[in-house]
Structure 1
Amino acid sequence: MFDALTDGLLQRAFEPLVKTGRLDVVTPAGKVLAFGDQGLPQARIRFTDQRAVIHLLRDPDLNFGEMYMQERIVVEQGSVYDVLELVLRHARQVPDSRMVQFLDAVRMKLIPLWQNNLRGKSRANVAHHYDLDDRLYQLFLDEDRQYSCAYFENGNESLEAAQLAKKRHIAAKLLLAPGQRVLDIGCGWGGMARYLAEIGEAGHVKGVTLSTEQLEGARRRALQTPVADRLEYALEDYRDTRGPFDRIVSVGMFEHVGSRFHDAFFQQCFELLAEDGVMLLHFIGNFEEPAFNNPWIERYIFPGGNLPSMSEFTPAIERSGLLVSDIEVLRLHYASTLRIWRERFLARREEARLLYDERFCRMWEFYLSMSETAFRYQDIAVFQVQLVRNQEAVPLTRNYVAPREAALKARERLSPRYAHIVDQTAHR
């Protein structure tokens, strides 16, 4: 009787989601439920116990990933990416269950608690993800350790070329002039700062981070460049930084600020930016109305994270005194980035298992797969927001971007560090 009930619930849950491709769901009793039109992709999952079925049906956003990590959902054909693609690519047309709607409402109420990113909590959140064994990131990132969305100008570049294009695109939008003083908020392993100093010819670049592992890596890599004397890295909360700076850049950090602190972030940037300065903010955003962080991502990957919608971050910009001079939306670029990261990680999965364990590898594969499908099939993308204090600080049109990118690329070809990457196309 109970088996028949859960089988019926699984049928009702998966049938409206899986319209194309094929997904076979094997129940704990061994019954096979088939969904889709028998096209591609095709995948097969098996539940090992009835409680796993109940957990998934009760809270799929949290428990799908947990059941996969615990091997209570086993992928027997295809990959977990294939399963997520089958389930998510038509999910926007399917209304949520009443249980999911209730959980969503509760989670919206919990946003202030989850995103209470005071200094101590911000430091702990960063350590949770970015202070993992440095060798883990070496398995799948490009050689410059860019852990953010790449920029695919043609679509078939190597990861290294696309990440270099991202730095070039941002540098062009910054309208950087030789000798200027630059701040990089959330500098990671320091690659953007190194690029702005060496290729952008900035006079001084200060990078701030809350990750001790990344700080150590940034300082070590700076010593290997010809511009080490123009690079400074500090373990420092952006709220404690002092300026002014001619240019400010922040890539992949704003997602960790939290909506409660948007005002503080932009007000601080206003204070740090010179009167004729330019800022470029690159971050993951939400196309739709404000929402909570995915609960599985919140618990296991990025605690305290937030993917802000325009209706969340633009009012804070307006209140700060900064002016939005340009917004560009990079659609699907992060999906392409994540696909390469996922392929690279899986190719060296055994090395990751030796660093951690099997559960960690399943968690990481689910994270990369879930993130890629989210960028392909859900309402998130990367926003690049250019900000100024004075609207005359930037040209009237975007016509300056391409010539500046060409000039930067010409300098890259003269640099031993970048020349071998320029114009690479094949990503495998």
Structure 2
Amino acid sequence: MWLLDRLLPKLIRKGRLTVIDPVGTAKSYGDGDPDWPALTMRLHDAKVARDIIRDPRLGAGEAYMDGRYSIEGGDILDFVTFVRANRPWESGDYGLKRPGAVRSLTTSIVGRVNRLNQRRSSRANVAHHYDLSDRLYDLFLDRDRQYSCAYWTDPANSLEQAQADKLAHIAAKLHLSAGQKVLDIGCGWGGMALYLNRTCDVDVLGITLSEEQLKVARERAAAAGVSERVRFELCDYRDVTGQFDRIVSVGMFEHVGPPNYREFFRTCHNRLTSQGVMLLHTIGRINKPGTTDAWTRKYIFPGGYSPSLSEIMKASERNKLMITDVEVLRLHYAYTLREWYKRVQDKQAEIEALYDARFFRMWSFYLAGATAAFESGGMVNFQLQYSRDRHTLPITRDYMHEAEQALRAKG
């Protein structure tokens, strides 16, 4: 217990967290504010505290996956969001001392290596996450399988409505005309490409590195009778040829890696026509550049990294792409993740039947940690619009609102 005494008083000041060690000794932290949660963390072996102290996120994540501690008075989402809310990004105080110089250097080196995401590892990294069972994603995503931040015009909306509104929100920013050619980089299961074709009468090429997503996307296009106008290919963005009037990329940039940002934007510039427009939707960090935590790198998104706005701008501005609009979605992903988490909990039996109890706990911890990062941490979503020519788009943003309303009316 003494190990946690070094950490928890700095982390828990509001509310109450009681920790019970394997022999039954209990100690509480926080001021007991009744407006805050009161949770209990029960440790099932003596090594849990040591593992958490050594690396809080990795240790807490692995110990939870292995069932070595449990939460009472709530669940893992309640616990993770409670801990993170005690030190929100806005406070500027995370309650922990900076790591020593050696550890800082080690973290920096490991982070840089893991962010390289070279071509040879990109497909394997994508397969690690996106080639899981189709049934898993059906259990918690919306009917269109949108696996990215939804757009909540009202927090009371359903997930299905919020994801449909996301598609309209993005399509409006693309300023599309019938017959245009669109490149969808990181097309997922094809929802965005099919939506753009159906509502805007455009031709779309969607590319992915996931064989499972490719299979489903092609099946959906065939079922809709649009395979000639909405095509999907297993292709790295660097290998695309031809010219496109528009490029859209949603939830893919997190897998590019900072060393490849300039090449990504150079490729996009070269694939756009002279009057081309691009919309990039990505998770991003409010802070300066950082690293992906060890638990997420190991279990969820190997090679994944969420960029700071400064990193994106540094890469795009050197490739003659004009930034024409920037929107920061602050809480939209938190609402989305909470809905995914709820659905995962409701489908515990089915998920454990697909995999096992450890996988279910891993997936729950992943969604809980992500929710906390968007509610209280340093993560947001960026939507960045680019154009090759300053004259291509209207000079006010009114066109976005008008197009969005029209697209929503189409359904």
Fold match by TM threshold 0.5: yes
For residues 35 and 218 of structure 1, the distance between their equivalents in structure 2, rounded to whole angstroms, comes to 50
User: Match for 1:71 among 31, 53, 67?
Assistant: 67
Equivalent residue number for residue 33 of structure 1: 27
The answer to whether the Cα contact below 8 Å between 1:334 and 1:381 also exists between their aligned partners in 2 is yes
Q: Secondary structure at the match of 1:45?
A: strand
User: Match for 1:83 among 76, 79, 95?
Assistant: 79
1:129-168 aligned within 5 A: 129-168=129-168
1:292-371 aligned within 5 A: 292-371=291-370
Matched, 1:12 2:3: no
The answer to whether the Cα contact below 8 Å between 1:275 and 1:389 also exists between their aligned partners in 2 is yes
For residues 318 and 147 of structure 1, the distance between their equivalents in structure 2, rounded to whole angstroms, comes to 28
User: Match for 1:59 among 31, 34, 55?
Assistant: 55
- State the shift of 1:142 in Å: 0.2
Q: Secondary structure at the match of 1:401?
A: helix
Residue type at the aligned position of 2:254: E
Deviations 1:142-167 (A, max 9, x none): 00000000000122110000000000
Equivalent residue number for residue 277 of structure 1: 276
- State the shift of 1:75 in Å: 1.9
Equivalent residue number for residue 179 of structure 2: 179
Compared with structure 1, are the counterparts of its residues 281 and 176 closer, same or farther at alpha carbon in structure 2 (3 Å cutoff)?
Answer: same
Q: Secondary structure at the match of 2:170?
A: helix
For residues 161 and 104 of structure 2, the distance between their equivalents in structure 1, rounded to whole angstroms, comes to 40
- State the shift of 1:336 in Å: 0.1
Deviations 1:316-340 (A, max 9, x none): 1011111111110001100000000
Deviates most, 160-169 or 84-93: 84-93
Compared with structure 1, are the counterparts of its residues 188 and 100 closer, same or farther at alpha carbon in structure 2 (3 Å cutoff)?
Answer: farther
- State the shift of 1:223 in Å: 1.7
Equivalent residue number for residue 242 of structure 2: 243
- State the shift of 1:63 in Å: 1.0
Deviates most, 357-366 or 12-21: 12-21
For residues 248 and 395 of structure 1, the distance between their equivalents in structure 2, rounded to whole angstroms, comes to 18
- State the shift of 1:112 in Å: 2.9
The answer to whether the Cα contact below 8 Å between 1:198 and 1:227 also exists between their aligned partners in 2 is no
Equivalent pairs: percent with the same residue? 47
Deviations 1:371-392 (A, max 9, x none): 0011001011000000111111
Equivalent residue number for residue 287 of structure 2: 288
For residues 311 and 102 of structure 1, the distance between their equivalents in structure 2, rounded to whole angstroms, comes to 26
TM-score of the aligned structures, taking structure 2 as reference length:
0.96
- State the shift of 1:104 in Å: 4.4
Equivalent residue number for residue 372 of structure 1: 371
Q: Secondary structure at the match of 1:199?
A: helix
TM-score of the aligned structures, taking structure 1 as reference length:
0.92
Compared with structure 1, are the counterparts of its residues 102 and 167 closer, same or farther at alpha carbon in structure 2 (3 Å cutoff)?
Answer: farther
Compared with structure 1, are the counterparts of its residues 347 and 103 closer, same or farther at alpha carbon in structure 2 (3 Å cutoff)?
Answer: farther
Compared with structure 1, are the counterparts of its residues 355 and 198 closer, same or farther at alpha carbon in structure 2 (3 Å cutoff)?
Answer: same
The answer to whether the Cα contact below 8 Å between 2:11 and 2:95 also exists between their aligned partners in 1 is no
- The number of residues matched between the two structures is 405
- State the shift of 1:306 in Å: 0.7
Unaligned runs of 5+ in 2: none
For residues 41 and 138 of structure 1, the distance between their equivalents in structure 2, rounded to whole angstroms, comes to 32
Residue type at the aligned position of 1:129: H
Query: Considering only aligned residues, what root-mean-square deviation do their CA atoms show, in Å?
Result: 1.4
Residue type at the aligned position of 1:19: R
For residues 233 and 110 of structure 2, the distance between their equivalents in structure 1, rounded to whole angstroms, comes to 32
Deviations 1:30-77 (A, max 9, x none): 111112233232221112222221111111021110111111122233
Compared with structure 1, are the counterparts of its residues 154 and 76 closer, same or farther at alpha carbon in structure 2 (3 Å cutoff)?
Answer: closer
- State the shift of 1:102 in Å: 5.2
Q: Secondary structure at the match of 2:11?
A: coil
For residues 60 and 296 of structure 2, the distance between their equivalents in structure 1, rounded to whole angstroms, comes to 12
The answer to whether the Cα contact below 8 Å between 1:283 and 1:384 also exists between their aligned partners in 2 is yes
For residues 85 and 143 of structure 1, the distance between their equivalents in structure 2, rounded to whole angstroms, comes to 27
For residues 15 and 258 of structure 1, the distance between their equivalents in structure 2, rounded to whole angstroms, comes to 36
Residue type at the aligned position of 1:12: R
Deviations 1:197-216 (A, max 9, x none): 001211x1000000001001
Compared with structure 1, are the counterparts of its residues 223 and 371 closer, same or farther at alpha carbon in structure 2 (3 Å cutoff)?
Answer: same
Q: Secondary structure at the match of 1:392?
A: coil
The answer to whether the Cα contact below 8 Å between 2:185 and 2:247 also exists between their aligned partners in 1 is yes
Equivalent residue number for residue 267 of structure 1: 266
The answer to whether the Cα contact below 8 Å between 1:108 and 1:292 also exists between their aligned partners in 2 is yes
Deviations 1:269-302 (A, max 9, x none): 0000111010000000011110001111000000
- State the shift of 1:411 in Å: 2.1
Q: Secondary structure at the match of 1:91?
A: coil
Equivalent residue number for residue 122 of structure 1: 122
For residues 62 and 306 of structure 2, the distance between their equivalents in structure 1, rounded to whole angstroms, comes to 22
Q: Secondary structure at the match of 2:278?
A: strand
The answer to whether the Cα contact below 8 Å between 1:25 and 1:45 also exists between their aligned partners in 2 is yes
Equivalent residue number for residue 190 of structure 2: 190
Equivalent residue number for residue 426 of structure 1: none
The answer to whether the Cα contact below 8 Å between 1:23 and 1:86 also exists between their aligned partners in 2 is no
- State the shift of 1:16 in Å: 2.5
Q: Secondary structure at the match of 2:23?
A: coil
Residue type at the aligned position of 2:150: A
- State the shift of 1:101 in Å: 7.3
The answer to whether the Cα contact below 8 Å between 2:10 and 2:96 also exists between their aligned partners in 1 is no
